[in-house]
Structure 1
Amino acid sequence: MGARTFVVVGATSGLGLAVARLLVDEHQVVVLGNVAAEVAAVTDELGCAGAVCDVSSYEQVRDAFAEVVGRYGTIDGVAACSSMWAGGDLADLSVEHIRRAVETNVLGTTYVLREALEHLHRQGHGNVVYIGAMAVTTPRPGIPVYRATKSYGSSLVESLAEAQHSNQVKVMQLHPGPMPTRLQERVGAEFLDEVYAMPEQVATEVVRLLLLEPDDLYVSGERVLRADGRW
């Protein structure tokens, strides 16, 4: 299909940045992040487009996607990589931290998928890959809020995937295990397993899903699990 256009949400560090790096040599890539200086640094490094977007704001998500469509005409794929860590026992988390985690991981995911699918349906094709977490399927102590918010995203994707009724628009999810990323630094070393995958390794799988063509015989709703560096 030649060069295509991809939006990578949460692309200023970690897995999102690794996905953008793999795509940018052959495709138009738009990176979204909520810190202006970080977005500027990534766009300068990769030579791609970018926009400041706090996913917890529907208006910012809406405007960012509209800007991409206005510039490139179509969106061929969206990687929803943004996430906020919320570790610790429930009683130890501040109300503000809980609120921001829900706004980012729940509302933000909802807004991104809503806008992405609206544009993909209008053009009749495209792929969405939601980045979840192995915490959804493998509970760990001390992360009730984080796991709950990521479980929401997984449930949302499953329902949306069932609603597509076509491979022309594919909605998929990938659940990495702990990786050495900036989010992981906030998590703490105790959550990083002895065997783990690097962001660059997981990014190859995200890109494989994003590059699926409309006529590929691939089922929307596919869940890819990549935990601890193993399949």
Structure 2
Amino acid sequence: MQTLHGKTALITGAGKGLGRAMALALANEGVNLLLISRTLSDIEKVAAEVQALPPDVLVQIAAADISKLEEVRNALTTLTAENKKIDILINNAGILSYGSVLDIAIEEWERVIQTNVLGTYYMIHEVLPFLLEQQQGDIINIASTAGLKGAADLSAYGASKAAVINLSEAIMQEVRKKGIRVTIVNPSTIATDMTLSNNFTDGNPERVLQPEDLAFLVVNNLKLPQRAFVKEVSLWSTNP
């Protein structure tokens, strides 16, 4: 297993939930962090948590809506002003709309696609040159088991995650022989603000996956020898 100490990871949606858990887990491995979230106060709190940990790591933050290309570019300019190194990109930011295809407003359907699909594409498009210049690096795209099979009332979210899975596969085939590993992670229901607000846990968040479960998986995947990587993995809870 390779060490992650001294590497730099950029995480989107880092202000809470999965993003926060991955930031803390990577910081404990000595990974420097570049954190993006739509809400500045959220990532300020995460940055403070990271800085309170024993490992002495660099933490830089930027507020941005990844569904807007100009905001993505501005955030990257800010985050890489002093250090232009990025070793790991974790595309975690995403939104969910729950309801039938006729109940969800067209504008909301478009917003889900804009954030989950185009936001992921924008981040990859802007960060990939850093990885290609270094001739190594990791891209981890957080998709969903909802993207593997259609489900009632999840048409927008499921379609967006299916697109992320296909996009990831295509990019993996383009760059894997250039030293860049692309991994798709498909979690089932995880206890986050997004799932709790839609009552996906039936009022019992302990019965589903926790953010730390996914963070553990991501960290250990990144520790694989550089010659190997997991292309796609699904993470499920043992609870019914």
| Deviation (angstroms), 1:69 | 3.0
| Deviation (angstroms), 1:13 | 1.1
Work out whether 1:203 is the aligned partner of 2:215: yes
Q: Deviations over 1:145-198 (max 9, x none)?
A: 110011111110000001114261111110001011011113223678995321
Work out whether 1:14 is the aligned partner of 2:17: yes
Residue 199 of structure 2 aligns to which amino acid in structure 1? G
Task: Please name the residue that 1:225 is paired with.
Answer: 234
Residue 136 of structure 1 aligns to which amino acid in structure 2? G
Report SS of the residue matched to 1:42: helix
Task: Please name the residue that 1:144 is paired with.
Answer: 155
Work out whether 1:104 is the aligned partner of 2:115: yes
The two structures, once aligned, show a CA RMSD in angstroms of: 2.1
Distance 1:142 1:4 in 2: 40
* Structure 1 residues 227 and 138, CA gap change in structure 2 (3 angstroms): farther
Distance 1:104 1:186 in 2: 19
Report SS of the residue matched to 2:36: strand
Q: 2:167 aligns with which of 140, 151, 156?
A: 156
Distance 1:196 1:185 in 2: 11
5+ unaligned residues in a row in structure 1: which ranges?
Answer: none
- Does the 8 Å CA contact 1:7/1:30 hold for their aligned counterparts? yes
Which one is further off, 60-69 or 159-168? 60-69
5+ unaligned residues in a row in structure 2: which ranges?
Answer: 52-58
| Deviation (angstroms), 1:123 | 2.0
- Does the 8 Å CA contact 1:161/1:170 hold for their aligned counterparts? yes
Distance 2:94 2:238 in 1: 20
Residue-pair matches, total: 227
| Deviation (angstroms), 1:105 | 0.7
Report SS of the residue matched to 1:163: helix
* Structure 1 residues 30 and 229, CA gap change in structure 2 (3 angstroms): farther
Report sequence identity in percent. 24
1:1-231 aligned within 5 A: 2-25=5-28, 26-47=30-51, 48-166=59-177, 168-189=179-200, 195-212=207-224, 216-219=226-229, 222-229=231-238
Distance 2:181 2:195 in 1: 29
Which one is further off, 183-192 or 106-115? 183-192
| Deviation (angstroms), 1:202 | 1.2
Distance 2:198 2:98 in 1: 7
